[in-house]
Amino acid sequence: MKLILKILGIFVLVGALVGAVVLVKKSQETRKSAHYASIEALFLPDKKTVKKGDFLISTLMLDSKGEKLSAVDLRVKYNSKVLKLVEVNPVLSSGGVTALFKSESDILVKKIDNTAGLFSLAGISMETDGTKMAKGIVSLFKLKFEAIDSGESEVLLDSTYDNQVSGYNPGKSDQSLNISSAKKTVYKVKVDSVECKNGEMACNGDFSKMCEQGKWVVRTTACSCGCSQGICLPCETPEPTVEPTVEPTVEPTDIPISAVGDVKVAFVIAFKGVRASSKCAVDWPVKVILMGGGEIKSYEGVIAHRTEFLNSKGENLYEVEINVKKEDFSPRKNVAIFVKGPKHLQSKFGIDEQAGFYGKAEGELILDDNLIFDFSESPVLPGDVVSIVDGKMVIGADGFVNGVDFKAVKEATSAYKSVEEGGYLAEDLDGSCQVNGLDTTWLVRSLDEKQEQLY
């Protein structure tokens, strides 16, 4: 805080930024007095487990509780034996992002000390118009950590430091805001046990096994004549010699005949967090996009019908079916299917029984009337609740999960918003008919993705 005041003192001498200087200077004069309002500091996501060598990004934010912010002087603490802070970038206000800073020049201090596990930051808002100062859920910095060893690290404001936040309190001597609650986040780093080297082969009785991703995988095909060094041994009885038969040339095809013309595309999905107790998640409309062979076809308002079946996580399965005309979308192989729920990020599915993120170009699906794809082990992620239109927050997805969505869900939680069974609330992410802390948890988990899959 002292560094901010010295620098601001220079601005006073040259007569620049009088408004901002007065705010921070008055904050110094009344540091020992009562604060005129309270705010909350938080890190998102608030919990995450990663592997050693992975990177994770934590966003430091302030919930101003409606107060306007003008300056910060904070210090963040973390376990430097588990995490290494490799990069810090200020969040700059643009589009729908509410941030304290508009440019890098607003930053006065940005210092990383990985030996002590500390990050010091200070900056001021160059906005002199009080009506335009940042308020609400305000983003400050994105901290990029590297997981360097197994263990657990809390990331939180350093309680031994005089953390300060100044607000905008016109006509009053006290400009200091009290950080009443500084939530910590817990990041865990795990080291996977390695049984073997990738590609290594060995025998397992009459079966062979191969090392894949550090784990032994036993092949299901039996070796009828024994196994040696990870491969099946040939049987001693030689195969009889057979004169080759010349077969007529046939053009190869792996497309079922029934899929050459129009085709029915059917699959099952799950929505993250929607379980048997979710009475307000009956039949949700989804957007389905088919992509393949350079063609794209979109289907809006397709109803996902809820079933009584559950995936391995206890989430309900939903059946989706669309009729695809040949003239609308002609590819029948190497197809990818995109699905976007009413308040969800768009997900890409490229293989049957997909159980995670699919990162390849296009897809590997073959469209056929007789197939029902199972995508239920990779649930569609919730949280894309609101968007910014003409500077105002309105209900409606924008393809991102960010601080605006977090603010909407949190405000709905504080207001105890609820609806009758079978009703619909945009902020009710798990269809429980009420907005509560669990919806905030689902949204925070979706922040790992932040943006929907587009290709």
Residues 269-283 have pLDDT tens digits of 999 999 988 999 988
| DSSP strand pairing (176-182 vs 107-113) | unpaired
Over the stretch 20-75, which tens digit does the pLDDT of each residue have?
A: 434 444 444 444 446 889 999 999 888 888 888 899 999 999 999 999 999 999 99
Question: For residue range 381-418, what is the model confidence (pLDDT) as tens digits?
Answer: 998 888 888 878 788 777 788 778 888 888 888 888 89
Instruction: Name the residue type at position 310.
Output: L
Burial of 237 (0-12, 13-18, 19+ CB in 10 A): exposed
Mean pLDDT of the chain: 80
Can you tell me the distance from the alpha carbon of 328 to that of 367, in angstroms, rounded to the nearest whole number? 14
pLDDT in tens, 414-449: 888 898 988 888 899 999 999 888 887 777 777 666
Q: Is the dihedral of CA 104, 108, 114, 118 positive or negative?
A: negative
DSSP string, 272-321: TT--TT-TT-SSEEEEEEEEETTEEEEEEEEEEEEEEEE-TTSPEEEEEE
Instruction: Specify the range with the lowest mean pLDDT, choosing from 57-61, 101-105, 153-157, 171-175.
Output: 171-175
The tokens describing 383, both together, are 């949280």
Report the alpha-carbon distance of residue 176 to residue 162 in Å, rounded. 12
Residues 309-316, mean pLDDT to the nearest whole number: 90
The structure's pTM equals: 0.46
Counting residues of the chain whose pLDDT is more than 70, the rounded percentage is 75
Distance (Å, whole) CA 249 – CA 44:
61
Instruction: Give yes or no for residue 114 having a pLDDT over 90.
Output: yes
Measure Cα distances from 257 to 124, 343, 358, 374 in Å: 67, 38, 28, 22
Q: Measuring CA to CA, which residue among 340, 235, 242, 356 is closest to residue 298? A: 340
Is a pLDDT exceeding 90 seen at residue 160?
yes
Relative orientation angle of helices 403-414 and 437-446, to the nearest 10 degrees = 170
pLDDT tier, 8 (very low <50, low <70, confident <90, very high otherwise)? very low
Per the DSSP assignment, residues forming a β-bridge with 68 are: none
Residue with tokens 């393949």: 292
Please name the residue that has the structure tokens 């599915």: 349
What's the full length of the chain, in residues? 455
Cis omega (within 30 of 0) on the bond before 238?
A: no
d(CA 451, CA 115): 34
C-alpha–C-alpha distance, residues 155 and 61, integer Å: 13
Residue 169 CA to its chain's centroid (Å): 36
User: Is the separation of the CB atoms in 42 and 61 below 8 Å?
Assistant: yes
pLDDT 10s digits, 249-271:
555 444 444 445 789 999 999 99
Burial class (CB in 10 A: 0-12, 13-18, 19+), 391: exposed
